[in-house]
Amino acid sequence: MVTRKTIWILLVSCFLTTQHGFAQDLLTPEERLFGLSKLWQEVNYNFAYFDQVPTLDWDALYLNTIPKVQAVQSDRDYYRVLDAFIAKLEDGHTNIYYPDHIQAQFSYPMIEVQPLDQAYIVTNVCKRWAKKIPLGSKVVEVNSKPVDEFLETEVFPFIASSTEHGKLNRSLEFLFWGPKDEAITATFETSDQKLVTKTLSRDLNDYSTWLIEKEIPEDFEHKVLDNGIHYIVFNTFRDQAVVQAFNEHLNVLTEAKALVIDLRDNGGGLSTMGLEVAKHLVAEDVVVDTKWKSRSHIASHKAWGTSELQLMGYNPVKELETFGNMDAWIYVEADTLNIAKDVVKLNMPTVILTSDKTASAAEDFLVFLDGQDHITTMGSTTFGSTGQPIYFSLPGGGFARVCAKRDMYPDGREFVGIGIQPEIALTKTTATALSPEDEWLDAAIALLNRQ
């Protein structure tokens, strides 16, 4: 017998299913195709680095992606197609951001992996797995594929990065990432050469806590070390509060005999924030900004310069052919910014620590300080991506960005797609990664103590 209570339960169940299931797949085929076309258009007109992907035919990729968009069965799969589409541009400032309700469908097991000693090494894991997957274990297989093959086919195609080292490091962050409702299997080789295979849930509710506890880092940190060395950490240049905190420490910092500035976890922010700090660190009364260029579009010039005019029996205007070929640029020389004479200067011996996570505005900061005799850079090559992206919305609540500004050193040297190499290169090994000591900081201190 169907009671009124039963009907009510069925109605509520249907409502909840709609809210948490089908409501997440509301995009029509037309909206999905529009999103792909919008992405193609913004890249086509504004992307600053087509020359760094010389074998890519952007129009052909667009045509080949249309049937993929038409074939997807869910909004989640649709955004994955867009992710792979834009990753072909190989730029760290050109990528997709999933809508919140889709992003919430993805997660990862509590295990971290880094590329160390020509292998993929476990550097953190949840406490209840620590005995079976001890720190220092190698990842050898994922979903029954050799890990390199799995990366090549299942991870690399979705990673937007300007450099190969940046792609590898970011890919390992996403090695086990995926839909929460799909477990993943991995095989590990322990230090005593035992093989351990585990089925890993991607639901973080299934886990305890990290073996190595994670602390939320402060955006700005300052410590006084031995021998008058002061240690400054900039974990971001995103917020004016970072500059304010630095300024509040200026009087104390003038007492330092030497400085260590740590940018290893600084993923960027606003270059203007870096400029505010850099003016205190340069020896001169000026600080030089980056040189840059950006694509230029004048519709009438494109009309006069396009070779398609020949379809109507006219010849293009040679002087405007760059507009017709969509390869016209505006060039902006590096600004020389005068520093007020009352600005506090910190011109003591300084070491700046960098890593592959040092990116964007943090790389611009290094450019501002290039050539300063009292500053030595130390660490590993930076991420190799900066610039000003254009942001725009996509159907379903997501958005994308396309890098439209190409930054360079004031003398024209490129660093996007390459990374900034430190003067003193350090290599992270399994031993240093698992050590409780900060060996790179120790190396910086040792260098300053010798000066």
* Residue 211 CB-density burial (10 A; 0-12 exposed, 13-18 middle, 19+ buried): buried
Torsion (CA) 437, 439, 442, 448 in degrees, nearest 10: -170
DSSP symbols for 157-210: GG---SSHHHHHHHHHHTTT-EETTS-EEEEEE-TT--EEEEEE---GGG---B
| 338 in the same domain as 227 | yes
Q: What is the pTM of this model?
A: 0.91
Domain stop point among 176, 206, 236: 206
| 439 in the same domain as 339 | yes
Residue 170 belongs to what domain range?
A: 106-206
Closest-CA residue to 125 (of 439, 356, 434) = 434
Q: How many domains does the chain have?
A: 2
| 252 in the same domain as 230 | yes
Alpha-carbon gap, residue 28 to 45, rounded angstroms: 26
Alpha-carbon gap, residue 114 to 171, rounded angstroms: 10
Q: How confident is the model at residue 432 (pLDDT cuts 50, 70, 90)?
A: very high
| 231 in the same domain as 163 | no
Provide φ and ψ at 431, rounded to 5°: -65, -45
For the chain, the first-to-last Cα distance in angstroms comes to 89
Residue 207 bridge partners (DSSP): none
Tens of pLDDT along 379-427?
Answer: 999 999 999 999 999 999 999 999 999 999 999 999 999 999 999 999 9
Please report, for residues 116, 147, 178, 250, 439, the alpha-carbon distance to residue 434 in angstroms, rounded to integers and kept in the order given: 11, 21, 26, 34, 11
| 184 in the same domain as 262 | no
- Residue 7 in domain: no
Q: How confident is the model at residue 190 (pLDDT cuts 50, 70, 90)?
A: very high
* Residue 32 CB-density burial (10 A; 0-12 exposed, 13-18 middle, 19+ buried): buried
- Residue 201 in domain: yes
Domain stop point among 206, 231, 248: 206
Alpha-carbon gap, residue 210 to 187, rounded angstroms: 20
| 256 in the same domain as 126 | no
- Residue 407 in domain: no
- Residue 307 in domain: no
Tokens 């962050």, located at residue: 173
Q: How confident is the model at residue 177 (pLDDT cuts 50, 70, 90)?
A: very high
- Residue 240 in domain: yes
Average pLDDT, the chain: 93
- Residue 43 in domain: no
Tens of pLDDT along 11-53?
Answer: 333 433 333 343 467 899 999 999 999 999 999 999 999 999 9
- CATH number for the domain that contains residue 167: 2.30.42.10
Tokens 């730029």, located at residue: 91
| 122 in the same domain as 150 | yes
Tens of pLDDT along 305-356?
Answer: 998 888 888 888 999 999 999 999 999 999 999 999 999 999 999 999 999 9
| 423 in the same domain as 349 | yes
Domain stop point among 168, 184, 206: 206
Q: How confident is the model at residue 205 (pLDDT cuts 50, 70, 90)?
A: confident
- Looking at the chain, the whole-number percentage of residues with pLDDT higher than 90 is 87
| 278 in the same domain as 232 | yes
- Residue 45 in domain: no
- Residue 276 in domain: yes
| 178 in the same domain as 140 | yes
| 136 in the same domain as 240 | no
- CATH number for the domain that contains residue 225: 3.90.226.10
| 364 in the same domain as 239 | yes
